[in-house]
Chains A and B, each alone.
Chain A
């Protein structure tokens, strides 16, 4: 009897814990209609009045100004040094502390003047003379407020062309060991040579002088590029080519050199809309408004005084958002359905652009997927919309080609609905017949084993299993699924032993089709590697199509936007249809929730322009 009682008690204890978790939250009590009697024109009438649910109290203004609370993903910001930044969190903060010569409009992806208010281009299109904004001071947080940085004579230090030259040369310097410098090396003259140089040799100084960045005077910067490419200024505006304070990195007569530690709070100096105030590693990073930033068209003066970045995992960040401690948050996969169904949260939900494509690549040299009809059959047989509706559920867009719509010179579904490859079960079966005929096989049972590999993750597994089933249903082919840990997976995919079908994604470095079709898919690109640089691919797709190579090389330097788009459309057709080297699956979207008192913009290029946001209370 007692035994039973204690068992029942423990079950009740457990159940009460679980049930409270499942119930609706206290703050979202549904509005209850209340009966009231009102007098209308002399006659009493009974009406039902809906009492609105109690509004949550607005955030308290403590007199310290407006504070925005956001979260990065889980993990510390790796660095705030513009030359060393690769992570989105680093780039986000660097883009608030500094401004490039050009600045990408986050909503329209239009390249706008940044620190360079105007520029002249030489006749052959490779030498750009940029005229910089004047009298923008370097500032720092001195413990109590933002102050201007003074030089050894007591004068204010302004951002000059020399600072940009220093920053660019520092990025290209092999001693800095920048991960991202090679992107600058693609475009700027002399940068690659310096990167490959030997710092001990006598010619090293000549290599430094040979980098295509020169200060004509304090506010005139001359940049020399390798080719007259359309995206030169795009790359010159990236975070790897920012003005950097040489006096605090190398030291000078009145400033102690801080070396690698110059980005730490207390030493960090900036000139953009915000300044670094505090950085508690792994915990929070705080930036405050820079009152000395005059505001330019593409980067106005900030309206929000303080931004606090936390570093929380998505489910934790979402819990903080619901508790009222964060103003913006992503949504964990498991909560998407609940958010869409909830009246308050669904109003705060925004489905925005995310510049990434998810695809499956083929090792086109490995039988039996070396047969183009088989590859095309696989590609037609994926029901992309069903995948999005049932597995992904975040309103992603089905992909008919590789390059994410919204990039410059990239086709869009509205204007080019028939480019690329579409889900088509009948075409899939027809292609399968042709493949079997080509290989001289009677049925799919005679095909050797085909392996589909992905990097270990619950999400990728769900997608792979769904697609495996689709192929069984339509083609009767069952591929084997395997997965590997990320670093091992990358090695396997980029080797000559790449599996038949492998999963990959690509997100933009800069919003131009060149970054997609050339830097990823052409020979030597990240998914079609060429280890010994002999022009023959030996990893990833292991795919060489001379017409494709010609198209993407010509497209890189083509100035006429219509011709350029046409070239890239032809290239896409070769990539996903004629040669079917990849199966484009879907274009990413980003789901987020923002508090209603936030007046914000939604960025298309991967990080936000917080200087344009405001808090309305």
Chain B
């Protein structure tokens, strides 16, 4: 198992390298640059900007410099004044010296922040929203799916699946404003927009205060995001549980005299969860790095917006940074999913 994990982590680096190469090539192939303005900048200004950000270097050199910045760690005691000399991971060692790693570069659009700052400050918020949404969708979706499967073709089944279809069909862009209107504007019970925590965070993403002032901002967006994903989980749980319930070993367990609850939770559910976990991996990676639409509707300062705006702005370091981040999350999530297979189904073994 350890060898398996080590091998996969090595593969992660290789895949991310390919990802970075393809993204770099594509983003430079698209016409337009980061300094295109309606009022064309004079050539001297463009030359100066290109020099500052090393965009006049040959493409291969830009790529190699970027990789070196991201991969090579540094140990120094430079004060954090320059925007080009900032890193994502800073671990204080002794005195003023720190261990620095992962410099994703500056942002061309914002002249006061680097990609590292953006990731450090906005990713935790997307992470919080994502984790809460996943928990919400599991809390809603799994019981719904289980009940629907156990009581197949009864009113509970049809009700459950109708709610599921509703959740899948009504996207956040429709449900969000409706929820905001009802609870935020008409009833004024919950705030229509905003988020309740601000940097710095504990343990990278945990907010410092967790009172009502924090939770009241999370209720509407988590519900809106959670319901649509809950639907997918519900349908998947129902379908796979239906299949497992028909198996012989379930009939054996029942005939042994076990209670229905033990039969379902201990025997049926564990095997039924494999398709659900498979889907949960990429879903987790996608939600946790930020959803553009939900964050815009609820005014949540997450990372989702940067995935889209960086491309319109041709902000190359942000494009690379967000893509690599998403890739890393996805690969890690898939690794977790594969490891959990071994726990769920003893027949699956890695060696």
Contacts and interface: CB of A to CB of B under 8 A. Distances in A.
Interface of A: 2-3, 5-7, 9-10, 13-14, 17-18, 20-21, 25-26, 74-76, 78-81, 84, 174-175, 177-179, 181-182, 185, 192, 195-196, 256-261, 263-264, 280-283, 310-313, 315-317, 319-320, 322-325, 485-488, 490-491, 494, 504-506, 509, 519-520, 526, 529
Contacts of B313: 487
A74 B42 CA distance: 28
A282 B124 CA distance: 13
Interface centre among A2, A81, A192 (most CB of B within 10 A): A2
A21 B170 CA distance: 15
A182 B43 CA distance: 10
A86 to B, nearest CB: 8
A20 B297 CA distance: 19
A504 B38 contact: yes
A177 B49 contact: yes
B44 A182 contact: yes
Interface string B289-311: 00000001111010001000100
Nearest to A11: B162
Contacts of B154: 2
A227 to B, nearest CB: 18
A75 B113 CA distance: 13
B112 A80 contact: yes
B6 interface: no
B81 interface: yes
Given A21-B182, A264-B112, A312-B299, A324 B188 contact: yes
B36 A491 contact: yes
Contacts of A316: 180, 192-193, 296-299
A25 B183 CA distance: 11
A505 B199 CA distance: 39
B215 interface: no
A312 B178 CA distance: 17
A498 to B, nearest CB: 13
B32 interface: yes
B108 to A, nearest CB: 10
A6 B193 contact: no
Interface of chain B, main secondary structure: loop
A5 B42 CA distance: 69
Given A10-B166, A490-B32, A2 B180 contact: no
B338 interface: no
A21 B180 CA distance: 10
11 contacts: A14-B166, A17-B182, A21-B178, A76-B110, A178-B45, A179-B35, A192-B44, A311-B299, A316-B298, A486-B312, A491-B31
A196 B42 CA distance: 10
Contacts of A13: 166
Contact of A81 (B45, B81, B112, B159): B112
B117 interface: yes
Interface residues on chain B, size class: 35 or more
A487 B305 contact: no
Contacts of A76: 110, 113
A285 to B, nearest CB: 11
B309 A179 contact: no
A7 B112 contact: no
B301 A196 contact: no
Nearest to A485: B312
Interface string B148-161: 00000011001100
A260 B81 contact: yes
Nearest to B81: A259
Contacts of B193: 310, 312, 316-317, 319-320, 325
A1 to B, nearest CB: 10
A491 B162 CA distance: 49
A535 to B, nearest CB: 16
B190 to A, nearest CB: 9
Nearest to B195: A283
A458 to B, nearest CB: 14
A486 B33 CA distance: 11
B27 to A, nearest CB: 12
Nearest to A283: B301
A5 B155 contact: yes
Nearest to A84: B111
B55 to A, nearest CB: 11
Interface in B17-45: 30-33, 35-42, 44-45
B74 interface: no
Given A18-B178, A280-B301, A487-B36, A313 B309 contact: no
A56 to B, nearest CB: 10
Interface centre among B51, B82, B113 (most CB of A within 10 A): B113
B82 A280 contact: no
A7 B40 contact: no
Given A280-B199, A310-B299, A486-B312, A10 B163 contact: yes
B159 A195 contact: no
B158 A3 contact: yes
B45 A322 contact: no
A175 B113 CA distance: 18
B159 A20 contact: no
Given A14-B166, A179-B49, 5 more contacts: A20-B186, A257-B81, A281-B121, A315-B297, A319-B192
B40 A260 contact: no
Contacts of B45: 177-179, 181-182, 195
Interface centre among A2, A7, A282, A504 (most CB of B within 10 A): A282
Contacts of B195: 283
Contacts of A259: 81-83
A18 B296 CA distance: 21
B41 A282 contact: no
B256 interface: no
Contact of A319 (B109, B158, B181): B181
B52 interface: yes
Interface string B135-151: 00000000000000000
A423 B79 CA distance: 63
Contacts of A520: 39
Interface in B213-227: none
Nearest to B301: A282
B71 interface: no
Interface centre among B30, B38, B117, B178 (most CB of A within 10 A): B38
Interface centre among A6, A264, A490 (most CB of B within 10 A): A6
Contacts of B41: 179, 182
A11 to B, nearest CB: 9
Contacts of A280: 198-199, 301
What 7 pairs across the A-B complex have the smallest Cβ distances?
A487-B32, A259-B81, A282-B301, A79-B111, A10-B162, A526-B39, A283-B301
Contacts of B296: 74, 313, 316
Interface string B77-119: 0011111000000000000000000000000011111000110
B98 to A, nearest CB: 16
A485 B82 CA distance: 33
A24 to B, nearest CB: 9
Contacts of B198: 280, 283
B166 A20 contact: no
